[in-house]
Amino acid sequence: MKTMKEIGEKKVVETIINMFEQMPGNPIPFGDDISAVELGNGKLAYLKCDMLVNRTDVPPGMNLTQVGKKAVVSVVSDFASKGVQPIALLSSLGIPSNFKENDVKKIIQGFNLGAREYGAYVIGGDTNESSDLIIDCIGFGLGNSNIFVSRYGAKSGNLLAVTGFFGETAAGLKMVKERYQATSSIKKRLLDAIYEPKARLNEGLALANTKALTSSMDSSDGLAASLFELSERSGVGFLLEKIPISKYAIKFAEINDLDPISLAFYGGEEYELVFTFDSKNLSQVQKALNENLIIIGKATSEKSIEFKTDYEKKKILPLGWEHFK
């Protein structure tokens, strides 16, 4: 029998989902960013859990307060992609026995700061002893069923857009893990990207209010991985006419003789929103996001994912962050 390393996280998740009995009337199918329970009268309780493990999710140099905030951001980002306001958080905290009391205080300080930044409150949780620091964060929100934006609705011809530029976290991780170089101004920007991530909650709520989106998800596993996920769920392909690369990632790539396109597509830990909408609703979406709307291409009937250069089309590879691999 194959090991987790051989099959990867996606196959593990698929196996788990196939073993569950589907809840009758489940309003959101397995495989979306968050889950929900029908409350009646068109209301849903929205739920999401996300686990942070020190060994795999915490970059070198991140302090414990930042770790606590990051655990919140990863959950809030999923709510943002669905246009739902989280109102309460729970956390299960696995603490190594060699941690000091002040270490725990710093984590909880970050957790509380993150919750309040996004309009939520921490209402409870659990603690246990563990061999590595583990934070499992659970988010809860309420909303109308008609605001939810799934991964399943993209149509051929829809515009494809994102809320920000990519490549900074991939560059920042190369800098702190692999000793790549950067100027002082670029270094600060890249360190902020990995140590102080932000969820696009305001943007997600504004987009949902337009009721114009046909699909949406967050980009925490990388831009390429998000495009392939939307493609698979919606049954479309994508042709990109613009690659949303951060100018800081471009400068970093120039200094270190790296490919900036790879930094933009194949990183991870970026919490931008990736979404589609009908072009007839462009003015509504522009009004909701202003300068944070970056249109990068269109959905296509062919299920390939490519980007245009001046001379040709190039395929985007199905790569990105995946646990176990």
Q: Where are the domains of the chain?
A: 4-147, 159-315
- Rg of the chain taking only CA atoms, in angstroms: 20
Contact of 66 with 196, CB cutoff 8 Å: yes
pLDDT one-digit tens code per residue, 118-169: 999 999 999 999 999 999 999 999 999 888 899 999 999 999 999 999 999 9
In the structure encoding, which two tokens stand for residue 40, read together?
């009646």
Give the fold, CATH level 3, of 159-315: Phosphoribosyl-aminoimidazole Synthetase; Chain A, domain 2 (3.90.650)
pLDDT of residue 134: 98
In the structure encoding, which two tokens stand for residue 219, read together?
């980009």
pLDDT at 284 over 60: yes
pLDDT at 324 over 60: no
Contact of 35 with 28, CB cutoff 8 Å: yes
- The 3-state DSSP class for residue 168 equals helix
pLDDT of residue 323: 63
pLDDT of residue 4: 72
CB atoms within 10 A of CB 103: 15
Q: Which CATH superfamily is domain 4-147 in?
A: PurM-like, N-terminal domain (3.30.1330.10)
pLDDT one-digit tens code per residue, 33-92: 999 999 999 899 999 999 999 999 999 999 999 999 999 999 999 999 999 999 999 999
pLDDT of residue 112: 97
Contact of 107 with 125, CB cutoff 8 Å: no
Give me the helices (H) in the chain, please.
4-19, 54-57, 64-82, 101-117, 168-178, 184-195, 201-210, 223-234, 247-256, 260-265, 282-289
Q: How far apart are alpha carbons 135 and 67 in whole angstroms?
A: 9
Please state the length of the chain: 325
In the structure encoding, which two tokens stand for residue 193, read together?
């990207």
Q: How far is CA 213 from CA 83, 148, 157, 207, 240, in A?
A: 10, 10, 13, 7, 18
pLDDT one-digit tens code per residue, 218-241: 999 999 999 999 999 999 999 999
pLDDT of residue 130: 97
Q: What is the mean pLDDT of residues 255-276?
A: 95
Torsion of CA 57, 58, 64, 70, to 10 degrees: -50
Predicted model pTM: 0.94
In the structure encoding, which two tokens stand for residue 313, read together?
């089309």
Contact of 110 with 68, CB cutoff 8 Å: yes
Q: How far is CA 58 from CA 30, 46, 179, in A?
A: 27, 27, 17
pLDDT at 247 over 90: yes
pLDDT one-digit tens code per residue, 33-50: 999 999 999 899 999 999
Contact of 161 with 294, CB cutoff 8 Å: yes
pLDDT one-digit tens code per residue, 169-209: 999 999 999 989 999 989 999 999 999 999 999 999 999 99
Spell out the residues 6+ positions from residue 178 whose beta carbon is closer than 8 angstroms to its own.
none
pLDDT at 321 over 70: no
Q: Determine the straight-line distance between the first and last CA of the chain, rounded to whole angstroms.
A: 17
User: Residue for token digits 């991985």?
Assistant: 225
Torsion of CA 23, 29, 34, 35, to 10 degrees: -20
